[in-house]
Structure 1
Amino acid sequence: MSSEFLLVSGVVALSAVVQGVAGMGFALLCAPFLIQVFGPTEGVKQVVLLSLVLNVVYFGREMRGARFKDALSLLLPSLFVTPLLASWLKKFSPDALLVVAGTITIISALLLAFGLRMTRLEGRAGAIGAGVMSAAMNVAGGLAGPAVAMYAVSARWPVASIRPTLQLFGIGINTVTLLSLGSLKMHHLPWIGLILGIAGGFLLAPMISSERVRPLILGLALLGGTWIAFKGLL
């Protein structure tokens, strides 16, 4: 068993635990490693598929708290633009898109962290913007979570509703993204790390108080925005 395999499995396991606790964060932590090991195209595909598996598993745990109507309002615009973005990004450099999306996410996370409520991130217009941005970030880097998490925090969803609603949204956006990106090499997927991470997520999630979930989400969104903007600049 190679050291590279152990490292990737360990990172995937840790990322899956964070996803179970906060409702997001898997791709933020493991995408850089998977992309580095398997390349930008195959790495993103693996991140999206593994994220989809986690979405299904964790949504089944707490689906009763999901805000189905809100998830649908975020999904509709993202599902519409995902195939278009996947086709467009194959022809053009996604760098500018990544920088813009990452910068907006960083600014939103910082403003919300300092207690400023952003009304433009709420309502139908906010849902459309968050859905489109999430689709763009997912196609380019496997990061569907930060944009919709900013919408959820700004709209002041109950903490108990954030995790299952993000998982429900993830099921839709990751399914369409995976279909749009094409097939991937299944034998390279770190399934062992994923299974261990899911077990850890189920174990630790009930131990994390609701007061700690919101700052955790904001911190992960800030990390994701920084990573995606840095990737675009490079």
Structure 2
Amino acid sequence: MSAVIQGVAGMGFALLCAPFLIQVFGPTEGVKQVVLLSLVLNAVYFGREVKGARLKDALSLLLPSLLVAPLLASWFRKFSPDVLLVIAGTITIISAILLAFGVRTTQLEGRAGALGAGVMSAAMNVAGGLSGPAVAMYAVSARWPVTSIRPTLQLFGIGVNTVTLLSLGSPNMQHLPWIGLMLGVVGGFILAPKISSERIRPLILSLAFIGGGWIVLKGLW
């Protein structure tokens, strides 16, 4: 389902599936599963939209992420699983709220904005498998053309998810998530021309908010 929504709306895969995979596999393994699946999905959709990518902007976001992700991965290993659940769930909830209200700020523009968005994206990816919200808000605040946002963020996702996996380690291979991903990609290609992304966006954010809340409660109790 998450891959279908990503194909239709251009966003939402990790935001939607991260709470549930973390719930099933635990905070450490769940994040690894999300990051690997996201990496594959980034590559699939980037191959379809490569012409609109802004290489320079992707690199400006990616460089700070590449430097910070290994340090953060080492630091997060010191936390207990329950603490990581609360961190991942809280990040999911905040991301859903900010995207729902279309948060936009001039502080996210320029080189300083790219640096901040790249670092925040790396932190959110290591903790909760969510590299997208921070850089999506940067792209909107920087007024990128709509046709460039999706391919550029897919390119960024390939880089940040790769370095995150190298930092966290490889996940245990599970058949069901991969089967779901493949079916979702096919479904996304079929449904994308038929469904408006604006119709499905509220569903993405609502489910992400609920899932994030559930993970926080699980970590607390």
Give the stretch that moved more between structures: 58-67 or 154-163: 154-163
Identity of aligned residues (%): 72
- One-letter code aligned to 1:81: V
TM-score (norm: length of structure 1): 0.78
Name the CA distance, whole Å, in 1 between partners of 2:211 and 2:116.
Answer: 20
Counterpart pick for 1:130 among 117, 139, 146 = 117
1:21, distance to aligned residue in structure 2 (A): 2.7
1:232, distance to aligned residue in structure 2 (A): 5.9
Is the 2:92–2:209 Cα contact (8 Å) retained in structure 1? yes
1:160 — aligned with what? 147
Q: Matches of residues 6-155 of structure 1 in structure 2 within 5 Å?
A: 14-92=1-79, 93=83, 105=95, 108-109=98-99, 112=102, 117-155=104-142
Kindly tell me the number of residue pairs found equivalent between the two proteins. 215
TM-score (norm: length of structure 2): 0.83
Give the stretch that moved more between structures: 75-84 or 194-203: 194-203
Name the CA distance, whole Å, in 2 between partners of 1:121 and 1:220.
Answer: 24
Name the CA distance, whole Å, in 2 between partners of 1:199 and 1:81.
Answer: 34
5+ residue gaps in structure 2?
none
The Cα offsets for residues 6-49 of structure 1, whole Å up to 9 and x where unpaired, read as: xxxxxxxx100122233321111111111111111111111110
5+ residue gaps in structure 1?
1-13
Is the 2:118–2:135 Cα contact (8 Å) retained in structure 1? yes
Name the CA distance, whole Å, in 2 between partners of 1:224 and 1:137.
Answer: 15
Is the 1:122–1:154 Cα contact (8 Å) retained in structure 2? yes
Is the 2:19–2:89 Cα contact (8 Å) retained in structure 1? no
- One-letter code aligned to 1:90: R
The Cα offsets for residues 108-145 of structure 1, whole Å up to 9 and x where unpaired, read as: 546636xxx51101111111111111111110110111
Is the 1:31–1:47 Cα contact (8 Å) retained in structure 2? yes
Give the stretch that moved more between structures: 90-99 or 44-53: 90-99
- One-letter code aligned to 2:10: G
